[in-house]
Amino acid sequence: MTLEILTHDALRPLRHGFFTRRGGASSGIFAGLNCGAGSSDLREAVSINRDRVAEALGLTAGALVGVHQVHSADVVTVSALPVAPVRADAMVTATPGLALSVLTADCQPVLFADRGAGVIGVAHAGWRGALSGVLEATVDAMEALGARRGEVVAIIGPTISQRAYEVGPEFLDAFLAEDQDYSRFFAGGEGDRMHFDLPGFGLHRLRAAGVGRAEWTRHCTYSDPERFFSYRRSVHRHEADFGRLISAIRL
């Protein structure tokens, strides 16, 4: 099956993509393009999948750079192929020939670019990372490489939507402790449950950071099992593990 790659006009002509699960070599609960080496999927299948992603970006698999994601606000500046992944949740580079990538399964994958300055970035932004400032930290790191904040485009890819993201009162408390106005990203649910708008919060943080353009592709990972992996859906289905989607951009 051919790979399905979601792209965005605002990032063109840079080669980039939010890859769906279609077109991969994995099977079972990982069926499709599972690119998560940390999953319990067959290592050979994950390797084939990552090779296909790199090929689609016009690179070898070795040029597909990632980090060991830990739900932080840490950003790594990449100027050459790293020997091993470091613990962080975002990367930036001004070096041609490298593809920066993140893995997600409900969290926000965010691709950044200042095409004129030749600077790109990626971020893995779950609620912890977004609340901690990973999106703003990525823009700051891009500026350090010569990007202009007002020229930066930031596109949020497939992520869990508000209608599928049910949370409890302690979750709300964590946000209100930062800013009472964050209550606007929560909608009422049953009992003490609420629904959190993760992409809405991500867009708010990006726009408040002063980027020139910030958008969400409006794809919900939870609601479309044929195209996307979802951690939360796997929990609700009592599955033993879940696949990871990959999103990447290169100069």
Q: In this prediction, what percent of the chain has a pLDDT beyond 90?
A: 93
Identity of the residue numbered 65: V
Angle, helices 134-144 vs 198-208, to 10°: value is 40
Res 61: pLDDT: 80
Placement of tokens 């006009």 in the chain? 9
DSSP state of 26: B
Res 188: pLDDT: 86
Distance CA 238, CA 168 (A): 20
Please say if the pLDDT value at position 83 is more than 80: no
Q: Contact, 219 vs 94, CB < 8 A? A: no
Identity of the residue numbered 117: A
Res 68: pLDDT: 95
DSSP state of 170: H
Distance CA 137, CA 102 (A): 16
Give 228's contacts (C-beta < 8 A, 6+ positions apart).
20, 21, 158, 219, 220, 221, 222, 245
Res 44: pLDDT: 96
- Residue 193 pLDDT grade (very low, low, confident, very high; cuts 50, 70, 90): very high
Per-residue pLDDT tens over the stretch 97-116: 999 999 999 999 999 999 99
Average pLDDT on 122-140 reads 98
Beta-sheet strands, E only, within the chain:
5-6, 16-19, 64-65, 75-77, 90-93, 99-104, 108-114, 119-125, 153-156, 166-167, 186-188, 194-196, 213-216, 245-250
Per-residue pLDDT tens over the stretch 40-74: 999 999 999 999 999 999 998 889 999 999 999 99
- Residue 29 pLDDT grade (very low, low, confident, very high; cuts 50, 70, 90): very high
pTM for this model (two decimals): 0.96
- Residue 191 pLDDT grade (very low, low, confident, very high; cuts 50, 70, 90): confident
Q: For the chain, list the domains and their CATH numbers.
A: 5-159+212-250 (3.60.140.10)
